Structure 1
Amino acid sequence: MKTKRLSIILIASLLLMPSFAMATSDESESNESSPSQLDGEGSFSEKHEVVYATLNAFGQQDEMYVVNQFDVIEHGEMIDYGPYETVQNLTNLEDIELNDEEVTFRSGEDQFYYQGNLNGKPLPWTFDIRYTLDGEEVNPHDILGEDGHLQIEIETSGDDEVNPVFYENYLMQISLALDSEIYNQIEAEDGTVASAGKNKQVTFTVMPEEDETFVVEANVSNFEFDGVEISALPPNMSFDEFDTDEMQDEMNTLAEAFSDLHDGVGDLRDGVFELNDGVSDLHDGSSDYLSGMNELDEGSADLIEGSQEIQNALNQMRAGFETDGEIDLSDLDELEQALRQIADGLYEAEEGIAEIRENYDGSLESLREAINDIPVGELSEDNFDELYDSDIDPEVIDELVQTYEAAQNARENFDESSELFNYVVPVLEELEQTVNEIAVNLEQTADEFAEGLDELDFIEELEQLETGLEQLANQYGEFHAGLVEYTGGVGELSSNYSGIHEGIGELSDGTAVLGDGVDELHDGTGELAQETSDLPAQMQSEIDELMDDFDFSDFEPVSFMSERNENVETVQFVIQTESITIDDDEDDDEVEEEEKGIWERFLDLFR
């Protein structure tokens, strides 16, 4: 069966010899050179080698021969080289000699062919073919005629013992012809499946310098297999120059988008830095405000205590006049002094309240300026979505979003609480004015009391004083109750604002971290913009490099048989694995083919 396969391939190669197979006997006679012309040295312009090899079903090499073709320039004796076991003249009946890898022949035609048979010379590639039926690895000879789910795995690699020029520069095409009556539901992930008559043709391609593994799967019934056909030759790919103008425009647009992104992140960074400065000022102002509130709260106790003493003194003075008309005049001087001391205490309280009001007002203004320094929010969800769709670290974006929202919330909360903050100053001003009025009244009362001691109607004046003190004590009691209520509100405000201040502190820390993150982000987008600024040129360079990988125009063919062979134009490989078929007449056919000579087989083509 192997001899039959080689004979068929040989006959096919003979069909490619038009100068011999298609010439008439008259033409052959006219082209033949005389013996004297063949005695000289001949020459040829080109040599072509076609390497035919057979493999067994598992991919191990079996037989090999080479058909050598010469384009003859001058008729005469020529020499070729190769480690052949035997050689055959495929052109005429002239003898051809083989002596220690040197082949000598005489050519009287313009095209000369001879075949050299080899034994043991390896191919540039190795092949490993495995068969699996219903999930179990099998010998294909053992499953002839069986049914099931078949998987054929073909693994290729380079042979290190062979000149690497073929592995590095040759493209292989691997084909399997599958009879549609036997195979169905064919799958080949890395190959193409096409119809070829009643067969399905599965084709795989192996690029130069590549090792590959291909898998074909199919449901099979009454298994037979025609084998695997493999051809290898240098790629002859002609590519028109790519029109990359539109693509370059798109790349320019993309590069500009990256540049715009970098600019946008720069604006964002500036905004975050401005926000960070504003939040820092806010935190400082909040600290001042909190200190003022605490000072006000701490002074409230002294204010209440002093007010309580004033009220107690007024009550004592009023009680001192509640007699049966008998008045101890020796205490009147002490009463005058007491009134003046109370007035002095109120003046001091007035100054304390004024100082607190000024500190509070200044702290509130600092806080208001810091809040106003926070940029008004203009970033939308789409802006953040664009950032999330970019290559920016999502954690940095999360920090940015949280800080941005916290800053806007702080601004909104301050705006909502502004009425409460603004309420404190008028109350302090009113309190300051009230204390001043009481102090002035007490001081005037003391002056009038001192003057009244020298008048004759002193008793009547004392009665009026008693009435005035009673009214003053009652009014001051109402004032003291309001003062207690006010200081309680100040204490509550001071306590609640501590939480607000802590939040502002966290916001300040967050904006600082955000500033670092956005600065890092800006560096990253800058690097991205810089690296993509010449994106069209990079793309063109990549295309050129890719095209270079498939450009074999500078490849210089070398002989597969011997480095001494010259003028080698082409070397190609035709490789076939054995077929596994049911053929009852196979042995008879092989015997008949073996009995026929090359000439008889050739003549059979025309019978």
Structure 2
Amino acid sequence: MKSLTALVLVAIILAVIPGAVSADKEKQLIIVNNGNRSKREVVYAKLDASGAVDQIYVVNHFHPKQKMTLTDYGNYESIVQLTGSVAPVLEGSTITMEGVEGHYYYQGNMNSNQLPWDFIITYRLDGKARQPLTLSGVSGRLEMELGITRNESVDSSFFDHYALQISIPVDPDRVIIEEASEGFLVSSAGIEQQLNYIILPGQETVIKLVMDVNDFAMGQITLAGVLMSFDIDLSEMEEELEPLDQLTEGIAEFAKGADQLKRGYGDLLSAFRQIKSGAGELTDGGRQLEEGVGELEQGARTLLSEGNRLKKGSRQVLDGLTMITDNLPSRDLIDSFDLPEFSEADIERLHQAAEFIEILGRVLEILAGYEDELENLRAILQELIELIRALDLPEHIVLPDTPAGWAAYLEEKYGFSDPLPEELYQQLANLGKLSKRYGDFRELMEILSDLLASLPDLDLSATEMLGEIGQLLDKADGLVEMIETAGPMIGQIGDLIDGLNELQRGYAELHSGLTRYIDEGVGGLVTGIEGTDAQLGLSSGTSEYIGGVSALNDGLNQYYSSGLTRFSGGLNQLASGAAQMRDETGDLRSLFEEGIVEKLKEFTNEGYETVSFVSERNTEVSSVQFVFMTQEIPPARN
């Protein structure tokens, strides 16, 4: 901010200095050192065309009002009397002049070639470096650079307090200036023009010229060093300073506007944060919606798949029911049937028959181990059955019910003396016990006869008969169970048929509803989620919605981070800088006056005491000037 203020001040200084300098008002007088022993020094130097020092000599000027002997000091190689009738005498570094009155000049040729400034002049012709004395008569694009730097081996007060005026001669018939370092003034000197530069005290710089040359030649470059001293009367600048008050007011208004802009931006930023937060919530909600739609789609697909399987199974059930009902007789036909009824006694007889078959099976299991004996036994049994049938048996006969009784019975009745297995006797004893339960032995023999009569027809071994017995036993058990279970229901077959028909019709309606639910309901749900070629689905719509919301959120984030945030930093700096500038320029007129006075002190050399260039022993020096000239670049010889 201070640099900004300084820049404003310098600009104003440059604008108002001409008027202030030209003010017609009496200045404060200063005392000039014009004593009888005071002197003026003019330092001359010859430079070659590259800027190097060839020779330095000093012209010393005295002006005593009365005849007197003068003493001067300097590191001279030699001295030359320029005026007067008395020659100066050089002894070491002391110069004595006796009987001098009025203006008196002498020249001292210095031993040193050191100046307060170092000069370096370089040339490039068409981009190639050239020595200055080789440029006579050349043509082309010529670049010249004149570098000016401080010489650290010389008293720095001259470099810090003396300005350099540089005059570069230009022959318009030979040289056209295409480019030049800024800050020059053009003046005319006869048929030539001069480019004039002012180098302020303490400055190091480079002056650059780009020229289009034809048959090139250049005269001597002149460099003059003078103690810079001028004065400005600020009281004469009232009219020029008046706009500063308006500028102060304008800066204050600007700072106020910047502060209002900052506050307004704060409100904008707060509102934007709310929008950004809402967009973030929309994005989060959209993602949850997308996840929910995904789960819904997956569930609907699963439901549709399982529903199709259920529909297929339901169709199979319906087809089965339909097949059953199609094969059922009519109710009238069922009512016309004289269906049997089973009493408890009938069921008991069936149980006893099944038990008998089971006992017979166990007998055959024993006989299976005696296959040969069984063959004989079968013949004997067959013969026995035939004898029993041929005999005129009483109505009731009692069979033995013990193994021993059977052994005796068989031997007594049939002469069967070969012993049988104990297990067979035991099973025959069981048959005896069972015959007592039947009470009618003849009936039992008839049953046994029918069974044995059927076995030979099967042409089975004992083992095979066991299998057949097992099947008969299973059928008997199944028949008993069926009769026990279904017997009471036989009278209700008509109602059963009616119920089956009603069940088929009801299930047909259920299947129809199930089909519509799966095809139209679940299928429609899946279609609505996935969409069709002509209609956007919920899933695609949700994805587009998420994409849009995400893009909005990303755009808001980018706008916030790349735009608003950066703009906020700049705006805060603007408001802060404007407030600081307002505070620092609250009294711009006074600041300007103080600044210009401070700045002018650097150029007016206020308080600076002129010192001798040739010797610090010379204490009465009223002025020192420097004049340097370079070697010319002469025209080419024809």
Which TM-score band applies after superposition, normalised by the shorter structure? 0.5 to 0.7
1:418-567 equivalences under 5 Å are 474=512, 477-492=515-530, 493=537, 495-496=539-540, 497-498=542-543, 500-501=545-546, 504=549, 518-519=564-565, 522-523=568-569, 525-535=571-581, 550=603, 552-567=605-620
Deviation at 1:65, TM superposition (A): 2.6
Q: Does 1:178 align with 2:170?
A: yes
1:45-444 equivalences under 5 Å are 47-70=39-62, 72=64, 76-87=68-79, 92-105=84-97, 112-121=103-112, 122-131=114-123, 151-181=143-173, 183-187=174-178, 189-190=180-181, 191-218=184-211, 224-236=217-229, 243=241, 245=244, 259=259, 262-263=262-263, 265-300=265-300, 304=304, 305=306, 312=314, 315=318, 319=322, 325-326=330-331
Q: TM-score, normalised by structure 1?
A: 0.55
Deviation at 1:561, TM superposition (A): 1.6
Checking the alignment, whether the CA contact within 8 Å between 1:129 and 1:152 is kept in structure 2 is yes
**Matched residues in 2 for 1:583 and 1:227: separation?**
16
**Matched residues in 2 for 1:142 and 1:300: separation?**
98
- Residues 148 and 494 from structure 1, CA distance in 2 versus in 1: closer, same or farther, beyond 3 angstroms? closer
Deviation at 1:72, TM superposition (A): 5.0
RMSD across aligned C-alpha pairs, in angstroms? 4.9
**Matched residues in 2 for 1:519 and 1:232: separation?**
55
- Residues 138 and 514 from structure 1, CA distance in 2 versus in 1: closer, same or farther, beyond 3 angstroms? closer
Deviation at 1:574, TM superposition (A): 1.1
Structure 2 residue runs of 5 or longer lacking an equivalent are 1-33, 335-494, 531-536
SS at the partner of 2:180? coil
Checking the alignment, whether the CA contact within 8 Å between 1:557 and 1:571 is kept in structure 2 is yes
**Matched residues in 2 for 1:138 and 1:194: separation?**
28
Which one-letter code corresponds to 2:176 in the other structure? Q
Structure 1 residue runs of 5 or longer lacking an equivalent are 1-41, 330-456, 585-607
Task: Report the counterpart of residue 6 of structure 2 in structure 1.
Answer: none
Checking the alignment, whether the CA contact within 8 Å between 1:87 and 1:98 is kept in structure 2 is yes
- Residues 188 and 292 from structure 1, CA distance in 2 versus in 1: closer, same or farther, beyond 3 angstroms? closer
**Matched residues in 2 for 1:328 and 1:500: separation?**
69
**Matched residues in 1 for 2:623 and 2:69: separation?**
22
Deviation at 1:470, TM superposition (A): 5.9
Which one-letter code corresponds to 2:581 in the other structure? L
Which one-letter code corresponds to 1:186 in the other structure? I
Which one-letter code corresponds to 1:576 in the other structure? M
Deviation at 1:560, TM superposition (A): 0.8
Q: TM-score, normalised by structure 2?
A: 0.52
SS at the partner of 2:45? strand
- Superposed CA deviations along residues 76-97 of structure 1, whole A, max 9, x for unmatched, are 4443322234445656424544
**Matched residues in 1 for 2:83 and 2:270: separation?**
86
Checking the alignment, whether the CA contact within 8 Å between 1:170 and 1:235 is kept in structure 2 is yes
Checking the alignment, whether the CA contact within 8 Å between 1:317 and 1:469 is kept in structure 2 is no
Deviation at 1:178, TM superposition (A): 3.3
Checking the alignment, whether the CA contact within 8 Å between 1:84 and 1:116 is kept in structure 2 is no
- Residues 500 and 252 from structure 1, CA distance in 2 versus in 1: closer, same or farther, beyond 3 angstroms? same
Which one-letter code corresponds to 1:482 in the other structure? E
Task: Report the counterpart of residue 368 of structure 2 in structure 1.
Answer: none
Checking the alignment, whether the CA contact within 8 Å between 1:43 and 1:78 is kept in structure 2 is no
**Matched residues in 2 for 1:473 and 1:219: separation?**
106
Deviation at 1:549, TM superposition (A): 5.3
**Matched residues in 2 for 1:253 and 1:91: separation?**
69
- Superposed CA deviations along residues 279-320 of structure 1, whole A, max 9, x for unmatched, are 232233224433443443344357555698589399579847
**Matched residues in 2 for 1:200 and 1:555: separation?**
35
- Residues 124 and 285 from structure 1, CA distance in 2 versus in 1: closer, same or farther, beyond 3 angstroms? same
Checking the alignment, whether the CA contact within 8 Å between 1:75 and 1:108 is kept in structure 2 is yes
Which one-letter code corresponds to 2:283 in the other structure? H
**Matched residues in 2 for 1:503 and 1:583: separation?**
81
**Matched residues in 1 for 2:68 and 2:274: separation?**
94
Checking the alignment, whether the CA contact within 8 Å between 1:88 and 1:114 is kept in structure 2 is no
Which one-letter code corresponds to 2:46 in the other structure? T
Task: Report the counterpart of residue 28 of structure 1 in structure 2.
Answer: none
SS at the partner of 1:533? helix
- Residues 572 and 249 from structure 1, CA distance in 2 versus in 1: closer, same or farther, beyond 3 angstroms? farther
**Matched residues in 2 for 1:552 and 1:233: separation?**
11
**Matched residues in 2 for 1:578 and 1:325: separation?**
146
**Matched residues in 1 for 2:502 and 2:138: separation?**
135
- Residues 187 and 45 from structure 1, CA distance in 2 versus in 1: closer, same or farther, beyond 3 angstroms? farther
- Superposed CA deviations along residues 7-50 of structure 1, whole A, max 9, x for unmatched, are xxxxxxxxxxxxxxxxxxxxxxxxxxxxxxxxxxx944854322
Percent of aligned positions with the same letter in both sequences?
26
- Residues 284 and 233 from structure 1, CA distance in 2 versus in 1: closer, same or farther, beyond 3 angstroms? same
Checking the alignment, whether the CA contact within 8 Å between 2:88 and 2:106 is kept in structure 1 is no
- Residues 138 and 312 from structure 1, CA distance in 2 versus in 1: closer, same or farther, beyond 3 angstroms? closer
Deviation at 1:278, TM superposition (A): 0.9
- Superposed CA deviations along residues 378-435 of structure 1, whole A, max 9, x for unmatched, are xxxxxxxxxxxxxxxxxxxxxxxxxxxxxxxxxxxxxxxxxxxxxxxxxxxxxxxxxx
**Matched residues in 1 for 2:36 and 2:599: separation?**
37
Q: Out of 610, 621, 627, which is 1:574 matched to?
A: 627
